[in-house]
Amino acid sequence: MKELELKYGCNPNQKPARVFAVSGELPIAVLNGRPGYINLLDALNSYQLARELREVSGLPSAASFKHVSPAGAAIGLPLDVTERAAYFAPEGELSPQAAAYIRARGADRVSSYGDWAALSDTCDEDTARALLPEVSDGVIAPAFTERALDFLRTKRRGGYAVVQIDAHRAPAAVERRDVYGVTFEQGRQNVKIDGTLLENMVTENKDVPAPARRDLLIALITLKYTQSNSVVYARDGGAIGVGAGQQSRIHCTRLAGGKADNWFLRRHPKTLSLPFLPDIPRPARDNAIDVYISDDASDILSGGAWQAVFTRRPEPLTPDERREWISSVTGVSLSSDAFFPFGDNIERAARSGVKYIAQPGGSVRDGDVIAACDRLGIAMAFTGVRLFLH
C-alpha cells in the first residue's frame, strides 16, 4: 500500500488528509479500525520509542502516547502487588510485553486517557487483555497473535485502531516537513542512546548503580520522542513523570516532578484502600484518585461529590502525610533534553527523590548547577547530546 486516505487532518476542517510513501510502500498496515492523522503521528513516534527501549534494555517495551508526546514509557519488568493495585492490572500471570504496557500506562493514568499504545514486540493475548478495559484510541506493534486480534476487534464496538508496522523498515536519513508553504529538511535524529553518554560524571558523587543507569537511559530515550522543552523522571524501569512542551526549563522540572509525586502518592496505603463504589469505570477512578492526592482534596471531600464515587467519605491525606510520603522516596533518575540554566531545577528535582541526573551540560552556569548537585549528594553526568524535538 502506497497511500492511506484519512478522515481529516489534525482538526475536522483540515481536508483532504492522507499519508503516503514517496517511494516504495507504506511501512504500516491497518488491521482494524480507521486511525486518524494524529493517531498515526502518535503511532509512528511511539513505536520508535518502544523499539529503542527494547534495544537498550533487552526487554519488551511499551509507550503510552498523547498528542505526539509520551505520557509514559517502560520496559517489561514484573509487577509487584502494590504496582498491580496502583495500575489496575489484571489478575494472573502477565507476559513481559503486557507488563511493559501496564507500567507505561501507569506512569500517568490521567494523561494516558485516550492514548495510543506502542509495543516493541508481538501483541499477545495478555497485552490485549490489558488494553481492553482502558480508554485508548489504538495500538501499534510489529505483529499480533490471532487471539490478541480477536480481543482487540471487540474494543470500541469494533472500531479500535490496530496498526501493524514493518519492524525491519529503515527510515530515510533525511526528513522533510512543510510549514506555511516552506519545506524544511534535516538529518534524522539518529543519535544512539547508550551507556557511553553517562561516562562524563561531573559531580563529586560518581556512584550510579545499575538500576539508576538503566533508568537514566530510559529517561533519555523518552526525551528523544518528547516535544521540547522536556524533562523526564524515571524509576523502576519506566518514566514516572514527563514534563513536555514547556517554554521554561524550571516549568518542565516542576511539571514532571508533580507527576512523579502523584505516581508515588498513588501507592500510599490510603490511596490503595479508597472505598470505590462497585462498577465505577476506570476513568472515574483515575480522576477521583487524582483529586484525592491533590493539595485541595480536603476541600473537595468536605462536600457531597464523593458520594458519586465512594461508598463512604474517604479520610483525606493530610499535608503532613503527603510531605512525609514524598520525602521518603529516593533513587529517582532524571534526564533533561537540554542544559539546566540554573540550580533551581536541581533543588526542585531533589524534592521528588532525584539522586541521579543526565543532561547535556553547556550552560554558562554549569558550575552553579554542579554545586547544587554536590550540596544535595546527587550524581550527575554531562551527556554532551541535546535532544530537542519540534
Cβ proximity of 57 and 214 under 8 Å: yes
State the average pLDDT over residues 34-52: 96
Split at pLDDT 50, 70, 90, the class of 298 is: confident
Q: What is the CATH number of domain 3-165?
A: 3.40.140.20
Q: With a threshold of 0.85, does the pTM exceed it? A: yes
Domain range annotation of the chain: 3-165, 174-264+326-382, 269-316
Active site (annotated) includes residue 229: yes
pLDDT tens for 320-335 read: 999 999 999 999 999 9
Which has the minimum average pLDDT: 114-118, 166-170, 247-251, 261-265? 166-170
Question: Residue 64 above 90 pLDDT?
Answer: yes
Q: What is the mean pLDDT of residues 175-180?
A: 93
Q: Which of 67, 205, 251, 287 is catalytic?
A: 67
Residue 296 has pLDDT above 90, yes or no: no
The CATH superfamily of 174-264+326-382 is: AICAR transformylase, duplication domain (3.40.140.20)
Active site residue 66: yes
Whether 11 is catalytic: no
List own/partner pairs for 268-275 with CB under 8 A and 24 or more apart. Answer: 268/293, 268/317, 268/321, 268/325, 270/314, 270/315, 270/317, 270/321, 271/86, 271/317, 272/82, 272/85, 272/86, 274/310, 274/314, 275/310, 275/311, 275/312, 275/314
Alpha-carbon gap, residue 63 to 118, rounded angstroms: 5
Q: Which of 32, 39, 45, 229 is catalytic?
A: 229
Name which of 52-61, 95-104, 207-216, 302-311 the model is least confident about.
302-311
- Separation of alpha carbons 135 and 178, rounded Å: 32
Annotated catalytic residue 155: no
Task: Tell me what percent of the residues of the chain surpass a pLDDT of 70.
Answer: 99
Q: Which residue's C-alpha cell is 508553504?
A: 181
Which percentage of the chain shows pLDDT scores above 90? 91
- Paired residues of 165 in beta bridges: 28
* Catalytic site residue from 32, 39, 66, 262: 66
Q: d(Cα 97, Cα 119) in Å, to the nearest integer?
A: 7
Three cell numbers written together for 360:
547535556
Q: What is the mean pLDDT of the chain?
A: 95
Whether 3-165 and 174-264+326-382 share one fold: the answer is: yes
